[in-house]
Amino acid sequence: MTILIIIIFIFIGFFIWFGNLGFLNLSRDWPLILIIIGLLGIISALRRGRKSRIIRDLEKGKISVGEAEEKLKRNS
């Protein structure tokens, strides 16, 4: 959760900076900012779900350590 807060502050800082440079108009582009943050959250949740599924399969003995390692490398 702490990493997420840090990333949000970084994004806010970039958007304010881009707004000051004239690349973004924050009063116009704020929905786009929310959409981007939401998409990043969804992608992050999907990746965590895949990794936890691989670990669960490993714990249940459905896959070997080598298979789990290979799947985790592909999902990173």
Furthest-apart CA atoms within the chain: distance in Å: 56
Per-residue pLDDT tens for 34-55?
Answer: 888 888 888 887 777 888 888 8
Per-residue pLDDT tens for 18-38?
Answer: 878 888 777 787 788 788 888
Helix (H, G, I), strand (E, B) or coil at 62: coil
Q: How far apart are the first and last CA of the chain?
A: 19
Query: Are 46 and 71 within 8 A, CB to CB?
Result: no
pTM of the model: 0.51
Q: Where does 1-76 have alpha helices with state H? A: 2-21, 26-60, 65-75
Q: Where are the domains of the chain?
A: 2-75
